[in-house]
Amino acid sequence: MIKTATKVNQNHHLVIFFKDKTSHQAIAQVLPTEWSNLVKSFRSAKHVGPKKSRMIQTGLDPKAPRLVLVNLGETASVPLFRNLVGDVARQLRSEGTVQWLSVESISDWECHLSQVIPMSLYSIPHQKSSKKDEQGVGSHIVITSQKSVVNDGRIVGDAVNKARSFAHMPANILTTSQFVDDIKALFKGDPRYQVTVLNESALKKKKMHALLGVGQGSIHPSYLVDITYKGGGTEAIGIIGKGVMFDTGGISIKPSRNMKEMKGDMGGAAAVVATAWAVGQLKLKRNVSFIVPIVENMVSADAQRPGDVVVASNGTSIEITNTDAEGRLILADALVYASKKKLACMLDIATLTGASTIALGPYAISVLGNHQGVVDQLLAASMTYNERCWQLPLFDEYQELLRSDVADILNANEGREAGTITAAKFLEQFVGDVPWAHLDIASTMSVSATKGDQVKGMTGAGTRALISFLLQYRAK
């Protein structure tokens, strides 16, 4: 739980952020006298080094409140601040009520703080037989006059955690049908949302054969879910997320090593559904269509084969060269579906290519698009919540790498050149004239260690960037 207050309470733990050369007077102004003297004595003994935190016991009783001094060094950068908040929050996760205060001017620090606290204290949902609860997280109080900023940050952090939890769920539990049910339940009773579910019969009527082809080898049915949010205004935005509930690679089967992570191949859909929830909590004043194609890519006698040709809902024929390039196929029909709406712009988000990891490593989301204005706004908005994105080119020449002898286009270049770019170039064929940008989150879908605002496992990648984009976008 995150709340706000305007004054420090001596009965609770307190975390203070400051710079190397911050005067003691600046800190003393916000502290009770007894605590101020403790801080002065502690700092004069040079116990507090740059970019480190130190804890001071304020009384003889072991249960007495404690002060945590966090030195940001000389440059209070947002990434450093978020990392320190996350690390300190975990140190104090079982310590009852914690107050948070900064004596420095850090860009939107209250918003970052209230995001990072729930993100860093996230616990992976599990099916262990022992149901022993995590140690109590307690309450967190941000000392500030900007109550709305703190609340907005908490909503963003909670949305990231929703996306993480969806992506963490085992595919035998979160099946395609169960995901649809969970989506309907999440928005049930809210008149601002209308949830439309297209089942396989409806998908066939709409000639979505690219989508249906991916799921035909699974016992679980395929769907497309359209979550329409009516926040007001005349313009609408489309957000489309890849929902492959598990990806074996199909007949072009993946190596077994780390294949268990492919339960997270619906990370794009998870981010979209979480974003749809967040905009309602934030009372966004615009209309948004959140579109989620949902399938499972399995190996069976009925599975799609390399060499097959399918025809997408816009009439484009596609030669299947690799059944593990399945995400772009379901997105193709979803993009066609979205492009028929009257949209100011649209984004799609997907754990699409391993090549994005080769290009950017685990530190940034790949962004490509057909409209520089939309791309620029996405890149700027993503930094508001410290989710790094980086643009790659989408030159017309890359289309040559997808030339087919028997269809209009290949689903994947059989060479190793420009894998992330050619995947986006494939998607571009299905967006029509709508301004569009694509986020490839494959490189950032999970982390191998807990640090700062990240917890080992699925990350909820892209959720912060999508929310920030929807809050800031202006048609140009």
pLDDT in tens, 214-267: 999 999 999 999 999 999 988 999 999 999 999 999 999 999 998 999 999 999
Q: Is residue 342 part of a domain?
A: yes
Global confidence as pTM: 0.95
| Statement to judge: residues 252 and 135 lie in one domain | no
- Catalytic machinery residues: 254, 328
| Statement to judge: residues 163 and 138 lie in one domain | no
Bridge pairing between strands 446-447 and 457-458: antiparallel
Instruction: Give the chain as a 3 state SS string.
Output: CEEEECCCCCCCEEEEEECCCCCHHHHHCCCCHHHHHHHHHHHHCCCCCCCCEEEEECCCCCCCCEEEEEECCCCCCHHHHHHHHHHHHHHCCCCCCEEEEECCCCCCHHHHHHHHHHHHCCCCCCCCCCCCCCCCCCCEEEECCCHHHHHHHHHHHHHHHHHHHHHHCCCCCCCHHHHHHHHHHHHCCCCCEEEEEECHHHHHHCCCHHHHHHHCCCCCCCEEEEEEEECCCCCEEEEEECEEEEECCCCCCCCCCCHHHHHHCCHHHHHHHHHHHHHHHCCCCCEEEEEEEEEEECCCCCCCCCCCEEECCCCCEEECCCCCCCHHHHHHHHHHHHHCCCCCEEEEEECCCCHHHHHHHHHCEEEEECCHHHHHHHHHHHHHCCCCEEECCCCHHHHHHHCCCCCCEECCCCCCCCHHHHHHHHHHCCCCCCCEEEEECHHHCEECCCECCECCEECCCCHHHHHHHHHHCCCC
Where is the domain boundary, 112, 145, 178?
Answer: 145
Which pLDDT belongs to residue 44?
63
**Residue in this structure with the two tokens 């002060």, named with its chain if needed:** 67
Which pLDDT belongs to residue 120?
96
Which residue range forms the structural domain that includes residue 25? 2-145
| Statement to judge: residues 444 and 334 lie in one domain | yes
Which pLDDT belongs to residue 108?
82
- What's the structural domain count of the chain? 2
- Compute the average pLDDT of residues 338-361: 96
Of 86-90, 133-137, 395-399, the poorest mean pLDDT is in 133-137
Q: Is residue 6 part of a domain?
A: yes
Whether residue 370 has pLDDT greater than 60? yes
Residue 132: pLDDT band with limits 50, 70, 90: low
| Statement to judge: residues 104 and 165 lie in one domain | no
| Statement to judge: residues 224 and 342 lie in one domain | yes
Bridge pairing between strands 140-143 and 317-319: unpaired
Residue 126: pLDDT band with limits 50, 70, 90: confident
Amino acid letter, 80: L
Per-residue tokens: 95: 């310590």
Per-residue tokens: 406: 């028997």
Q: Hey, which residues does 440 pair with through a beta bridge?
A: 350, 366
**Residue in this structure with the two tokens 């609860």, named with its chain if needed:** 133
Which pLDDT belongs to residue 134?
53
Find the CATH number of the domain harbouring 63: 3.40.220.10
CB 320 within 8 A of CB 411: yes
Whether residue 143 has pLDDT greater than 60? yes
Which pLDDT belongs to residue 133?
54
Which pLDDT belongs to residue 31?
84
CB 446 within 8 A of CB 261: yes
- Compute the average pLDDT of residues 349-373: 97
Sign of the dihedral defined by the CA atoms of residues 415, 417, 423, 428, in that order: negative
| Statement to judge: residues 140 and 164 lie in one domain | no
Which pLDDT belongs to residue 253?
96
Which pLDDT belongs to residue 128?
81
| Statement to judge: residues 123 and 20 lie in one domain | yes
Whether residue 42 has pLDDT greater than 80? no
Of 30-39, 96-105, 431-440, the poorest mean pLDDT is in 30-39
- Compute the average pLDDT of residues 320-329: 98
Of 93-107, 275-289, 309-323, the poorest mean pLDDT is in 93-107
CB 192 within 8 A of CB 202: no
Sign of the dihedral defined by the CA atoms of residues 346, 183, 140, 387, in that order: negative
Q: Hey, which residues does 141 pair with through a beta bridge?
A: 3, 99
Read off the pLDDT of residues 54-65 as tens digits, 9 standing for 90 and up: 777 777 677 788
Of 195-199, 256-260, 390-394, the poorest mean pLDDT is in 256-260
| Statement to judge: residues 280 and 309 lie in one domain | yes
Residue 21: pLDDT band with limits 50, 70, 90: confident
| Statement to judge: residues 170 and 122 lie in one domain | no
Most confident of 15-29, 117-131, 374-388: 374-388
Q: Is residue 375 part of a domain?
A: yes
**How far is Cα 250 from Cα 304, in angstroms, rounded to an integer?**
7
Q: Is residue 424 part of a domain?
A: yes
- Compute the average pLDDT of residues 71-86: 86
Sign of the dihedral defined by the CA atoms of residues 410, 414, 420, 421, in that order: negative
**Residue in this structure with the two tokens 């057909």, named with its chain if needed:** 370
**How far is Cα 365 from Cα 192, in angstroms, rounded to an integer?**
31
Find the CATH number of the domain harbouring 247: 3.40.630.10
| Statement to judge: residues 19 and 133 lie in one domain | yes
- Compute the average pLDDT of residues 264-279: 98
Average model confidence (pLDDT) for the chain? 92
Residue 52: pLDDT band with limits 50, 70, 90: low
* Helix axis angle, 267-281 to 176-187, nearest 10°: 10
Residue 34: pLDDT band with limits 50, 70, 90: confident
- Compute the average pLDDT of residues 30-49: 71
Q: Is residue 166 part of a domain?
A: yes
Separation of CA 183 from chain center: 17
Q: Is residue 153 part of a domain?
A: no
